[in-house]
Chains A and B, each alone.
Chain A
Amino acid sequence: MQLNVNGRSHDLGDIDPSTPLLWVLRDTLGLVGTKYGCGVGQCSACTVHVNGAPVQSCQLPVQSVADQRITTIEGVAGEDGALHPVQQAWIDEDVAQCGYCQAGQIMSAVALLESNPKPTDRDIDSAMSRNICRCGTYNRIRNAIHVAAGQAPKTGSAS
């Protein structure tokens, strides 16, 4: 089976086709940025893009996405390593606490801005409420999305 992740094709050999995409990414391909949180599609820490749409990779048998275009958190920055505006906003607004959910949050936010470049608070809440942040960084996630969309000034954390 072939899997296309972040623009690269991977031969998965005779992998069990029912294996969730999450575990193929993490254990087979070593792309551990995508996180396991609940395994039942509740927390969205495992969010990746399939053909640009955000999906919960813990719920997807790998066979269902063979030959589809998969993007993980490791593939969000440009080829030259330039951060995506959402990633940069996450740094500038110092969103993360433990950081564990943030890959999934960023994948949801990137997908939101691609379909809705100037989201309202309500749009953001609607798109982002599938993702749990146990640390409660929701205020900053919302603000960082506005910053990435050019709708709010940076708060300005030095790095």
Chain B
Amino acid sequence: MSYEPKFTIDPYVPDYLKESVAAMNTAAARVSRRQFIKVTGFVGGGLVLGFTMGPGARRAEAQHDAHGAAAAKFTPNAYVQITPDGTVVLYAKNPDVGQGVKTSLPMIVAEELDADWSKVRVEQSVISMELYGPQFAGGSTAIPMNYDILRRAGAVARAMLVSAAAQSLDVPESELTTEPGYVVHARSGRRLGYGELTEQAATLPVPDAASVKLKDPKDFRLLGKRITGVDNVKVVTGQPMFGIDQRLPNMQYATYVKAPAIGARAVSANLDHVKSMPGVKDAFLMEAKGNAIEFNPAGDTMLSGVAIVADSTWAAFRAARELQVQWDESGASSDSWSGAVAEAQRLAGQAPQATLGETGNVDAAFADADKTVEGFYTYPFVSHADLEPQNCTAWCKDDGSVEIWAPTQTPQAAVDAVAALLDVPKDKVTLHQLRGGGGFGRRLANDSVVEVAAISKRIGAPVKAQWSREDDMHFDYYRPGGFHSFKGAIDASGKLAAFEDHFITFTRGGSMPISAATLSPQEFPANVLPNARIAQSAMPSKMPSGPWRAPGSNAIAFAVQSFLHECAVAANRDHLEFLLEIMGEPRWLAPGNPQALNTERAATVIKLAAEKAGWGRTMPRGRGLGLAFHFSHAGHFAEVAEVSVDDNRRLTVHKVTVAGDIGPIVNLSGAENQCQGSVIDGFSTAMGLEITFENGRVEQNNFDRYPILRMNKAPVVDVHFVESDYAPTGVGEPALPPAAPAICNAIYAATGHRVRTLPLTKEGFSV
């Protein structure tokens, strides 16, 4: 039985998410096997199925009771409720920060339920490990981790409705079928709406999810279609739903000012002056707790700073401008990016500090090489820059309970962090999941949650803490910069015979790289070549780092895929042919593991992208096509960029053609949107974005110095999916990594200039 999902995740996904996936693999089946069969009572003459579990379940009962409380409701599990008027309420379990899971996950339930989508209402579920298993937004995992569970949740409900109809119509179940919203008895022409069946269905035993019959995918009515986002009406009419939109009676507004030098401690401040400013109610110093520069979603850590509490956001922000703080920088970062670049160049000239992995005989292959190619690649730290600056609302109540309203990507970890901070049991902490205005990995960390919980505890009132844009850019868990010193051996036949990567990264002083700054010893192409060596050197860092959309991959793909193009050029080979040759024979490197490269799927998307983009066309002077492939987050993606570059290195990216294989598509509209956005994000970041720091101080603090790409520079992104029969996987991340190298390879094709340093502005390019 394939019911228990087995899903391993990308080597670059942080440990926290790996633990969540492990928890899912062991706990999901256990949770969903508790069949929610306890009859809790009569409501309005009908039966309501309740839950047999703990506090989370009671919260879920309250959640379900909020809808049609006076009528008989059918609630076969934590994902589905049907009321007698035929309304189907589906509960979306995971945070939505723009990746579209609030639409795509309920679509999976609706498909197997055979619900009429136009009568479905989707609601954000409560946060409960007991009811839902891990709930988070990260690692492009929502679809692969939940696909089977959600299909079965819908199928169980459908089976019970069919049984109820069989009893009502006194016909065998085998004579019944369903159409969206109805059970149909074709022989007699009778139809019963789902709403008419709720009372009867609620009396029936809940069938075993593991053995319930699922649809044949060829009969899918909903999956694979274009479905607009369930919150789009709210989006276009400006209804409240984001973290920043939260309002409560008597809510205070706070801002929390931290030190310019990361990790410095607030010693004193002109608090009396600040407290005398209009609208300001309080101002106070707060101590650092734990080591907040380490990325840890469940950590009850915070940086030292000064909280300002006021009667409006503006009053708090205005007061912060007049705040003067004496900072003790003795424990603060004094890191320098320019210093790191110089040190990396020095380290690249020395033997690596460690060999991470080696296959074949690399030295012999280089000795026999017809040509040796070398390249040193550099990429910077970058910020997540979610358009909604970090914020959170908290209310520490007199009875010791806590309510949190957060746009977090890791709500369960946020509860853990708040419970630890305030030293209260976890069941005293209720987190209301709000929509995030962008995530990209930033909201995996709950530093904004911890800060506001501490402030609310101190003032004993509900409070929203709002980060300014400057705070958001200055206090991020950045995508770490890095350096790759590559060597490639081309043999006499023009093949890539050996590959070596001396990766230069950052540590806190030991050998373990900082968060999101690791390199797998099996990183492509080391995993497909006969001779390859992955080695590492590192330098100490005191800068916060963490996962940023497609962690690891987002930077490694630029370096590796650009260098492989260098090798193709050196070998005087066509890049498409060269890349396919590196893939070699069709094979799945770890059969059955969706996180392992499948060279057949890789070759398919590479050929498809090339075909759709018109690879091999003769291009006019200054115009070129560039190709790149990257496999991450279980997604195989190839992209071809078409660019023009003028004599002043002014760059135009006309079009990027994407070919991806993530198995069957759940929501075609959402999947395509994610790919388009990923490519534009990849280009935007490669083009002009970098976070630099000197003496521990980040030098960018708003969009004037961190220029997110705008519409007039955005390429057309043309997306094609293979829709293979493999299990469906996620698409929030894997389309991003190939974008930068495809564009850089196209720049080479157009100009003969090899880009080895990002952002492109460093090499004189502009848009």
Contact = CB atoms under 8 A, between A and B. Distances in A.
Contacts of B236: 73, 83, 87, 90-91, 96, 102-103, 106
Nearest to A84: B236
A132 B231 CA distance: 20
B712 A134 contact: no
Interface in B335-387: 385-387
Given A43-B387, A98-B438, A103-B238, A141 B232 contact: no
Contact of B226 (A26, A94, A135): A94
B704 A42 contact: yes
B711 A141 contact: yes
Contacts of B387: 35, 37, 43, 45, 98, 100-101, 132-135
Contacts of B229: 94, 96, 99
Contacts of A91: 228, 232-233, 236
B239 A33 contact: yes
A69 interface: no
A59 to B, nearest CB: 13
Given A43-B387, A135-B98, A157-B227, A99 B681 contact: no
B237 A77 contact: yes
Contacts of A116: none
Contacts of B225: 158
B232 A90 contact: yes
Nearest to B678: A136
Contacts of B469: 37-40
B438 A134 contact: yes
A129 interface: yes
A26 B717 contact: no
A156 B672 CA distance: 13
Interface string A92-119: 1011111111110010000000000000
A92 B118 CA distance: 14
Interface string A62-101: 0000000000111011000001000100111011111111
A34 interface: yes
Given A35-B388, A101-B387, A137 B233 contact: no
> Chain A: interface secondary structure?
loop
A149 interface: no
A98 B238 contact: no
B478 to A, nearest CB: 16
B733 to A, nearest CB: 13
A53 interface: no
Nearest to A126: B712
Contact of B247 (A30, A35, A72, A158): A30
A128 interface: yes
A134 B227 CA distance: 22
Nearest to A45: B387
Interface string A1-38: 00000000000000010011001001110111111111
Given A27-B314, A126-B712, A136-B709, A35 B677 contact: no
Interface string B212-246: 00000000000001111101110111111010110
A43 B244 CA distance: 17
A74 B237 CA distance: 6
A138 B680 contact: yes
B485 interface: no
Contacts of A36: 244, 313, 389, 466
A131 interface: yes
B674 interface: yes
A102 B677 contact: no
Contact of B711 (A26, A73, A131, A155): A131
Residue with the greatest number of chain B CB neighbours at <10 A, chosen from A130, A134, A155 = A134
| Contact size range, A | 35 or more
A126 B712 CA distance: 7
Contacts, number: 205
Interface in B461-510: 466, 468-469
Interface in B662-679: 669-670, 673-674, 676-679
Interface residues of B, number: 69
Given A32-B247, A99-B235, A132-B710, A139 B676 contact: yes
Given A132-B387, A141-B711, A155 B226 contact: yes
A26 B714 CA distance: 31
A27 to B, nearest CB: 4
Contacts of A19: 312, 314
A123 B23 CA distance: 52
B238 A74 contact: yes
A120 to B, nearest CB: 12
A96 B389 contact: no
A134 B436 CA distance: 12
A2 B99 CA distance: 41
A130 to B, nearest CB: 8
B472 to A, nearest CB: 9
Nearest to A74: B238
Contact of B232 (A33, A77, A94, A128): A94
Nearest to B310: A27
Interface string B85-106: 0000000000011111000000
Contacts of B314: 19-20, 23, 27
B313 A100 contact: no
Interface in B407-436: 435-436
B703 interface: yes
Interface in A137-159: 137-142, 155-159
A76 B237 contact: yes
Nearest to A18: B318
Given A23-B312, A94-B670, A135 B704 contact: no
A135 B438 contact: yes
A155 B97 CA distance: 24
A20 B313 CA distance: 11
A30 B489 CA distance: 64
Nearest to B235: A99
Contacts of A129: 710-713
Interface in B184-236: 225-229, 231-233, 235-236
B757 interface: no
B278 interface: yes
Contact of A99 (B117, B240, B437): B437
Residue with the greatest number of chain B CB neighbours at <10 A, chosen from A20, A42, A98, A137 = A98
A35 B238 CA distance: 9
Contacts of B679: 136
Contacts of B97: 98
A155 B98 CA distance: 20
A40 B702 contact: yes
B739 to A, nearest CB: 10
B738 interface: no
Nearest to B464: A27
A157 B237 contact: no
A73 B237 contact: yes
Contacts of B673: 94, 97, 137, 140
A55 interface: no
A27 B253 contact: yes
Contacts of B727: none
Contacts of B703: 38, 40, 42-43, 132
26 contacts: A27-B312, A32-B238, A32-B244, A32-B245, A34-B238, A37-B389, A38-B703, A43-B387, A43-B703, A76-B238, A94-B228, A94-B232, A97-B98, A97-B99, A97-B677, A99-B229, A100-B98, A100-B386, A100-B438, A101-B387, A134-B385, A134-B438, A136-B677, A138-B711, A140-B676, A159-B118
Closest 8 CB pairs of A and B: A33-B238, A100-B437, A136-B680, A98-B98, A73-B238, A125-B712, A136-B677, A99-B235
Given A32-B245, A97-B673, A136-B677, 10 more contacts: A27-B314, A43-B387, A98-B387, A98-B437, A98-B439, A126-B712, A132-B710, A136-B679, A136-B680, A137-B673
Interface of B: 96-100, 117-118, 225-229, 231-233, 235-240, 242, 244-245, 247, 253, 278-279, 312-314, 317, 385-389, 435-440, 466, 468-469, 669-670, 673-674, 676-681, 684, 702-704, 708-714, 716-717
